[in-house]
Amino acid sequence: MKTNLIISSLFVSSLFVSSLFVSSLFVSSLFVSSLFVSSVFVSAAYAADGQIKFTGDITATACKIDPSSANQTVNMGTISSSSFNGVNSASAATRFSITLTDCPTEVNYAQVKFDGNPDSRNNNLLALNNDNPKKKAADGVALGLYEADSATLISLAQPSKSQKLTNKSKQELNFIAKYIATNSTVNPGSGDAVANFTIVYN
């Protein structure tokens, strides 16, 4: 911060000089006090309330994803809207898998994290999209992704259960997809959805 004191005339009365001196002292005191208070405030503002420690490993290599798994289409079939009988009721299970190949010896377990557009009523589920130019998306229903047991929901942006890679040359990671009612009434339409996935090794 820059302080400028300008004297506009060399011929000033002693009273004016005294007044100027006192004012200067006051301003200096005020500036120092303000600076002290500001420094205390800044220190308080940046005081930490806690600490989060992040740990992880960076692997030199990873498994390859079989081309048939990297960009696949899972056919969910045709489901009647009347087959849903309330919120959280589900369609029949449809199996799908992600195949890993050529896994390095130091990689023993893998998880899958699914990401996509979350449903507005249940953000653990994948929203149906309106990318189909011929038909509007069904309403009151979303897509749920499950572990192979068909009972354990995998929330979006959360890793699946860790699966042991027993066959390093070719390993299938198996999952289930179901339509889940998010409203008491399901209106018919297209049931398309898109999920991106990331493999997490541990």
Q: Provide the domain count of the chain.
A: 1
- Measured CA to CA, the distance from residue 86 to residue 180 in angstroms comes to 10
Alpha carbon dihedral 97, 103, 107, 111, in 10-degree steps, equals -20
Answer yes or no: is pLDDT of 31 > 90.
Answer: no
Tell me if 16 is assigned to some domain. no
pLDDT band at 53 (very low <50, low <70, confident <90, very high): confident
Helices (H), the chain: 14-45, 67-70
Residue 182 domain boundaries:
64-201
Amino acid at 188: P
Tell me if 92 is assigned to some domain. yes
For 57-98, how does the pLDDT look when each residue is reduced to its tens digit (9 = 90+)? 676 668 999 999 999 999 999 999 999 999 999 999 999 999
pLDDT band at 24 (very low <50, low <70, confident <90, very high): very low
Tell me if 161 is assigned to some domain. yes
> For residue 103, what are its two tokens?
């896994």
CATH number at residue 173: 2.60.40.1090
- What share of residues in the chain are helix, strand, coil (percent, to 5)? 20, 25, 55
Question: Cα separations (Å) of 171 from 25, 27, 69, 116?
Answer: 80, 76, 12, 24
Tell me if 23 is assigned to some domain. no
Answer yes or no: is pLDDT of 23 > 50.
Answer: no
Tell me if 180 is assigned to some domain. yes
Contact (CB, 8 A) for 92 and 146: no
